[in-house]
Structure 1
Amino acid sequence: MALRPVQVNVKAVDHAAVGRFWAQALGWSAYAGPAGRTTYVGPGGGLVWPHPVVLGIDVVGVPEGKPAVKNRMHLDLATTSAAHQAEWVARLLDLGARHADVGQGDDVPWVVLADPEGNEFCVLEPREVYRDTGPVAAVAVDCADPRAMARFWGAALDWTLREVTDDIAVFRSPGGVGPYLEFIRRPGDARTVPDRLHLDLLPAPGADPAAEAARLRGLGAADLDIGQGGDVPWTCLTDPEGHELCVLAPS
């Protein structure tokens, strides 16, 4: 068996406000989660979960604000022209985003912003590879060893490994639709604080989530205690470089 990424989990003090921001930013809709503790962001027209193409954004309320360090995971947004990029950046700033400095310098063709609670993301210049992804081009993850990430995540997921070098490992869904998942070599960005963003993974229908979690441990994952207790229907783990992930129970 293998696991399917179904959403990016984002921690926020005000999950409703951050959810509204991302819904407006992407042209999607915000859906209230169970007991008012989360806000799910996905395409409009009614909640579809798991969505067959996109990775939704599940914004989860937490009491702590974002630490003053760069997230190791962020979203890259796709644009179709220089004018589209400029227009989107202006609209995002109007929605509550702000410019962010993550050491990118002044000569890069993409624009680094942060959402209202400081989670960084990039509005990319037009790139042919992202022409068919939808608004989210990629989920980008900083790592020390892309080849090691390719081995772990290649065995963990049902997604296809498209490219692996010393600098990057790239995955996409088996059908070649939706965003990419990219592990990008950034030495020195080891985990020092809890992740604000992580991937939620769903077992195939009929698969046992506990068995899937055990399989990931066999691949090098470790258990993670974030205070979730023993009665939740998901399992919190970290990959071999400490990136958080959750194995969900099928609904």
Structure 2
Amino acid sequence: MALRLVQVNLKARDDVALGRFWAAALGWETGSEGPGITNLEPVGFDWPAPSALCIDLVSVPDPETVAYRAHLDLATNSPAHQEELVARLTELGAKRADIGQGEVPWTVMEDPEGNLFCVLEPREIYRDTGAIAAVVVDCADPQAMTAFWGEAVGWEVRETSEHLVRLRAPENVGPYLEFFRRPPGTTPLRHRVHLDVLPPRGDDQRTEISRLERLGARTVDVGQGKVSWQPMADVEGNEFCVLSPEAGAE
């Protein structure tokens, strides 16, 4: 049985302040499982479920301040909504960012800690995703990443091209997971954003880790010490965490 993709994990200097920003940006509510961790989820959401990927903001002493390999795309339903959302996010502390995108219909922004994200123009494909349209991962080989992640979490291909592959939960709800081919010659950089996956209740975490290793992932040590989750790296070295099945019982 496949793992469940349940949340996006974001490192933060100040998880509480950044949590307030993203809660207001998305219209979500906040919670906390302990000091240094702020949890965000849609109002009334029953975690875990495929209809949304929640966000965990985790405080770390010195998060890296470089370009990132994964970012969020936010959905809008009209040009007026896009304009209003950009204005509201600016009031909340975000600002527009120039990453060399040129003239494009979406707006590239950075949150108060410098994390890049995009406010998309209205697109039919994202009309039912909720506030987050997609988690976008820059990669060298979208097809290889799709083969790994599709098998790892059971998400299905909804669109594919030479430069982009879109996956979505088999229930066809919630945001997309997108793999975008980065320009040749660019160097992959460290990133603050990673994904968390959850084994089904009753499954053995070690068995799932072994399955991921057979798919091409590897376990990594990020200085986590003795914890209930296992950090891993996918086929292109992107970090993710395998949570304990007991986390789904909360």
Contact residue 134 and residue 175 of structure 2 kept, 8 A = yes
Partner of 1:8: 8
Cα drift, residue 162 of structure 1 = 1.7
Cα drift, residue 134 of structure 1 = 0.7
Determine if the alignment matches structure 1 residue 81 to structure 2 residue 78. Answer: yes
Using a 3 Å threshold, how does the CA distance of structure 1 residues 61 and 25 change in structure 2: closer, same or farther? same
Using a 3 Å threshold, how does the CA distance of structure 1 residues 215 and 166 change in structure 2: closer, same or farther? same
Contact residue 101 and residue 112 of structure 1 kept, 8 A = yes
For residues 123-134 of structure 1, what are the structure 2 equivalents within 5 Å?
123-134=119-130
Partner of 1:115: 111
Partner of 2:232: 237
Determine if the alignment matches structure 1 residue 99 to structure 2 residue 96. Answer: yes
Question: Matches of 1:178 and 1:52 in 2, distance apart?
Answer: 6
Q: Which runs of 5+ in 1 are unaligned?
A: none
Determine if the alignment matches structure 1 residue 248 to structure 2 residue 243. Answer: yes
Q: Detail structure 1 runs of 4+ shifted over 4 Å in the superposition.
A: none
Question: Matches of 1:16 and 1:205 in 2, distance apart?
Answer: 30
Question: Matches of 1:248 and 1:101 in 2, distance apart?
Answer: 36
Determine if the alignment matches structure 1 residue 179 to structure 2 residue 178. Answer: no
Cα drift, residue 189 of structure 1 = 4.6
Letter aligned with residue 197 of structure 2? L
Output the TM-score relative to the length of structure 2. 0.94
What SS does the aligned partner of 1:75 have?
strand
Partner of 1:158: 154
Output the TM-score relative to the length of structure 1. 0.94
Cα drift, residue 164 of structure 1 = 2.9
How many percent of aligned residue pairs carry the same amino acid?
57
CA offsets per residue over residues 134-193 of structure 1, 9 Å max, x none? 111001110010111111111111211223332112110111000000000013454333
Partner of 1:192: 189
Q: Which runs of 5+ in 2 are unaligned?
A: none
Residues matched between the structures, number: 245
What SS does the aligned partner of 1:33 have?
strand
Partner of 1:18: 18
Letter aligned with residue 218 of structure 1? R
2:223 aligned to which of 221, 224, 227: 227
The alignment yields a C-alpha RMSD, in angstroms, of 1.3
CA offsets per residue over residues 28-64 of structure 1, 9 Å max, x none? 1111222x1200011124x632244110000001001
